[in-house]
Structure 1
Amino acid sequence: MRITELQAQSNWVLSIVADDGRVGQFDVSPYLQYEAFEALRDQKEFVKVINGGYFVEWDCGADLSTDTIEAGWQVVGNTASQKTA
């Protein structure tokens, strides 16, 4: 999976569109207990997420691979089906 669109929400959730058209949400809040993600408890830092295509990262050094995201995200739609509907 490659991430084509990424947006941080105010509730520590990432809204993601994958290259295959799947649209989903990934909750980062369970990771905030770990030292590498500690800075992201500040919402101002969390929203500074960077799309690396096959990973997401933040200035504090925290990152998540698309394998991790794909294993735990909630798919809520598909852009291909929305275009044809």
Structure 2
Amino acid sequence: MRIAKITPQPGWVLSIVADDGRMGDFDVSPYLEYEAFEPLKNHTEFLKISNGGYFVEWDCGADLSADTIEARWRLVGKAEPQATAQNG
């Protein structure tokens, strides 16, 4: 899976659109107990996320692979497939 769009939501949830149009929610809260993710307990830090396509990464250095997200997300629908080109 390649991540086309990611949007942080309240409650430590990420709304994700895959490049094939699948849409889902991923709950980050179970990861907050791990040292690398502890800074994300501050919701302001949680919002500082970057989309690497095959991973997401926060400013604090915590990251999740698209494979991990795909294995544990909750599918909520399907959108139109996204173009594979990255926006500048």
User: Is the structural similarity TM-score above 0.5?
Assistant: yes
The residue matched to 1:25 in structure 2 has which SS? strand
Alignment TM-score, normalising by the size of structure 2: 0.89
Partner in structure 1 of residue 68 of structure 2: 68
Corresponding letter in the other structure for 2:34? Y
Flag the structure with higher helix content. 1
Question: What RMSD, in angstroms, separates the aligned Cα atoms of the two structures?
Answer: 0.6
Structure 1 regions of 5+ residues with no counterpart?
A: 81-85
Partner in structure 1 of residue 2 of structure 2: 2
Q: Counterparts of 1:49 and 1:72 in 2: how far apart (Å)?
A: 19
Partner in structure 1 of residue 45 of structure 2: 45
> When the two structures are aligned, how many residues end up with a matched partner?
80
Poorly superposed stretches of 4+, deviation over 4 Å: none
Alignment TM-score, normalising by the size of structure 1: 0.92
Identity %: 69
Structure 2 regions of 5+ residues with no counterpart?
A: 81-88
The residue matched to 1:60 in structure 2 has which SS? coil
After superposition, the C-alpha distances for 1:36-73 in whole angstroms (9 at most, x for unaligned) are 00000000000111111000000111000001000000
